[in-house]
Structure 1
């Protein structure tokens, strides 16, 4: 059967009263999972992951339509229209992200071709994402995540489950892993093999790759991996800028988009140069599609935060979604001479009493540094993008300020 055949039939949708807040939260979670799955499908040449992307894309189309219907019903006067306009923009931008993720997945399903250098980037990843069907005889089958205690024991997380056509995003401790569920797992490469085998009853094989032998192609691949990471960060910041009405975060989204645009120009140049030395230049089609789709995701991040940049009031439906978030993303600028100036960061955690985790640094002279699992040192003038609780964020902001004591 054509792997794209089950994508072709649109789902009939009729209006029914729904919580727009819940739909927006589900759209956000779905978009983030779509990005993760689509790139993993490409890096692993995994058709099963790519097909899950197309299923999620269909689900997003339904959510997008329901959100539009709910927002139209909520608009009663010009004031409502002014507040709901940026929310409609969020819905449209999320749909754009979904479409771009689908285009990335089709690189695998339509066999556009990708250089082996793409998979050579895999060993640099601290974690991998895999898909597996829960075997009825698995020791994990028909047990809750709390009972399995998988993450504490192995470091592997169940990030989503698909049960038939229904998706369980962000499963919690009380979520049951049922027999025949499609489970999406993320975790360290060293542990994922054993967990996958216990879950599915089949051995997991890590793909073997050859190192790239064309310098320009290696540069192009390194660039697209960096573009991917920056685009994912931009989406995170964009949603956070809307949820917390943060103009500072929205400005950083714009800065990221400018950086990705510049990188795409270099990526295109290196890809074209590599074509002259490649044995089959047609096999670079997938790489070109990947670059274009990544840039589209970056642009969509700016669209997500447009209402904040235009200083439009946040609609109450978005404010209600904020109340469900225990963790926030913040932006602080480190002042020279502050407690953070000169502080070491080890695997994202600064050597301070704060519990905030630094996920990225924008250094005026050097651009963006994605901290991740790398070590770094905080300098005065750095702009830090960090994640943590509201209380920790307030304390972290105080640490970034220079002391006024003489």
Structure 2
């Protein structure tokens, strides 16, 4: 156990007046980062990343307590209780995501066995995420992110910084990189090593795996990777359903949760069958832990959108919290004969004059296709989940209509 964990969990948390909106924003950002860090910790068998997950989980526990205290102080009538009940559900769901991420990290920290095939498969499904400490001699030290301009030059993003006990979850253009900052970098494997080296003064050695595959194990690994991606999408859609008070988006969250549940059943069956042919069946234990935690994340996404599903008015404080993001997710049903019908999509970008990026397609009778994993051709009747600005969203919807 990391030494900080016991100390942090025993610290008293006293009530102090805080903005519920600010706490919800931080909980949302923390939950999303926790999902990223926990799976990357498993991918790289990286104890340092896993420890950062537990640090963030402790932070989330404090945020959850403060949010509950503030909500209790705000309730003065049955009407207010009704409006704030979904907010409490959102707070609880973020805590559940945090706990699930902690369980994933403990696969590494408690040395719960995981087949090498898992780490062999994940690099094809996700960008690389690495953690490094900014060196005093770094070319980036003392400069702002706008000045460094990493993303446009290398495709690598600084998704978070930890400065002592302080977390900067959404570093912006004016954020300055300082010596000893713990930086979390996400980007393509081809360039992240160079950026890591310039940031930390150390070389980055990506994990190398050479695992013989068992057919049923390969199916199980492919399924858990898909479950992970669908669960992350469900969380994004859940927050978007709140932003737009959209029952359609909330229903898509429910559809995703049903799909993840069905996939978990198949995943468990393939894992058990693989045990018969595995040299070391105990090594599959971590895979089962990973499946259970992933399913918890998709369930939490439904809890986030529950107020919308039950047609309860969303409290204005939640709208304000979700609006902190410049990017939004939208759901559009594609008409036959529209400008998008028959269009090819590569890496999420449709072959039309549009600035929205398609991240997922639900095709009637075929289920979900995550466009980031492969190219696709759009068809009439497809339900498109897209990401972009609010301005681009309305223009994109027109392209989908005949």
Instruction: Report the TM-score, using the length of structure 1 for normalisation.
Output: 0.96
Aligned residues: 400
Q: Which residue of 1 is the match for residue 5 of structure 2?
A: 7
Q: Quick one: distance in 2 between partners of 1:193 and 1:102?
A: 27
Q: Which residue of 2 is the match for residue 148 of structure 1?
A: 148
Q: Quick one: distance in 2 between partners of 1:391 and 1:105?
A: 38
Within-5 A mapping of 1:6-405: 6-9=4-7, 10=9, 11-125=11-125, 127-372=127-372, 374-402=374-402
- State the 1:126 CA deviation: 5.4
Contact 1:126 1:189 in 2 (8 A): no
1:178-232: per-residue Cα shift (whole Å, max 9, x none)? 1001000001100011111111111110111013321111111111001000000
1:85-136: per-residue Cα shift (whole Å, max 9, x none)? 0000000000000000000000000001110101111341452000001111
SS of the aligned residue for 1:8 comes to helix
SS of the aligned residue for 1:210 comes to coil
Change (3 A) 1:334 1:52: same
- State the 1:338 CA deviation: 1.5
- State the 1:73 CA deviation: 1.2
Change (3 A) 1:352 1:137: same
Change (3 A) 1:322 1:57: closer
- State the 1:279 CA deviation: 1.5
Q: Quick one: distance in 1 between partners of 2:343 and 2:358?
A: 12
- State the 1:398 CA deviation: 1.7
Segment drifting more, 116-125 vs 312-321? 116-125
SS of the aligned residue for 2:16 comes to coil
Structure 2 gap segments, 5+ residues each: none
Contact 1:356 1:393 in 2 (8 A): yes
Q: Quick one: distance in 1 between partners of 2:167 and 2:132?
A: 15
Contact 1:212 1:218 in 2 (8 A): no
Q: Quick one: distance in 2 between partners of 1:124 and 1:58?
A: 31
Change (3 A) 1:329 1:382: same
- State the 1:373 CA deviation: 5.4
Contact 2:156 2:191 in 1 (8 A): yes
Contact 2:240 2:322 in 1 (8 A): no
- State the 1:323 CA deviation: 4.1
Segment drifting more, 116-125 vs 24-33? 116-125
Q: Quick one: distance in 1 between partners of 2:234 and 2:320?
A: 23
Q: Quick one: distance in 1 between partners of 2:314 and 2:247?
A: 12
Q: Quick one: distance in 2 between partners of 1:169 and 1:61?
A: 16
Contact 2:37 2:50 in 1 (8 A): yes
SS of the aligned residue for 2:372 comes to coil
Q: Quick one: distance in 1 between partners of 2:180 and 2:198?
A: 14
Change (3 A) 1:61 1:322: closer
- State the 1:78 CA deviation: 1.1
1:147-181: per-residue Cα shift (whole Å, max 9, x none)? 21222221111000001111001101110111001
SS of the aligned residue for 1:143 comes to coil
Segment drifting more, 303-312 vs 338-347? 338-347
Contact 1:335 1:400 in 2 (8 A): yes
- State the 1:44 CA deviation: 0.9
Change (3 A) 1:313 1:64: same
SS of the aligned residue for 1:208 comes to coil
Q: Quick one: distance in 1 between partners of 2:222 and 2:120?
A: 10
